[in-house]
Structure 1
């Protein structure tokens, strides 16, 4: 990931996307064009999570195994259209999920929580509302 961070700093996010989605690039004259809507959604979300995470890394930061697991959780939350996601504060503060979901053409909204009590309170409220609507 540190090598990707260096590439991101040198070439920028869009050029790094070209590398990540190389199989979807189409040549148009002297340039290569990426039509993001043609990319498989699973591949797109997974790679975008990684690319955005790379762009948010501190210069001396190293990625730990649990960070990769957290990125996979974020990926699954986006792909499964869940409504609520409780994650570590560092992920919520970075806006990692929003960086990816903002680019998706969807009306689904994923609420990000970093506080368990707030998450639990809202989850109970949703549960109560669903129960009442089925009665």
Structure 2
């Protein structure tokens, strides 16, 4: 009889230990759910930044294409003017100076955009590395 009582007390102790373990596991699960939610939020922010970077890259691509078209057009225009009008060297130099001034301004804009993009991309990589380290 005493053996049975001892066994029952031992079982009750084991059950209390199991209940404690289960409560601890529930706490761990809640903590993991919270961390997962935070990770998802951070990942969403990274995705949003990536979308912004994509838009910036597309905009820069359009600007570069425009510059290439301007250069091509400018070269063709110079050739036509040379053949057709026999313009003087001074007139052609004035046209080139204007194009260089405009191009310098456009290149400055592109440099600023590229600098912003580099900073945002670096931030994104840092966020990605941090997210990977969480795993």
Is the TM value for this pair above 0.5? no
Query: Normalising by structure 1, what TM-score?
Result: 0.21
Structure number with higher strand proportion: 1
Query: Normalising by structure 2, what TM-score?
Result: 0.21
Structure number with higher helix proportion: 2
Give the greater-gyration-radius structure (CA): 2
Larger RCO: 1 or 2 (CA < 8 Å, sep 6+): 2
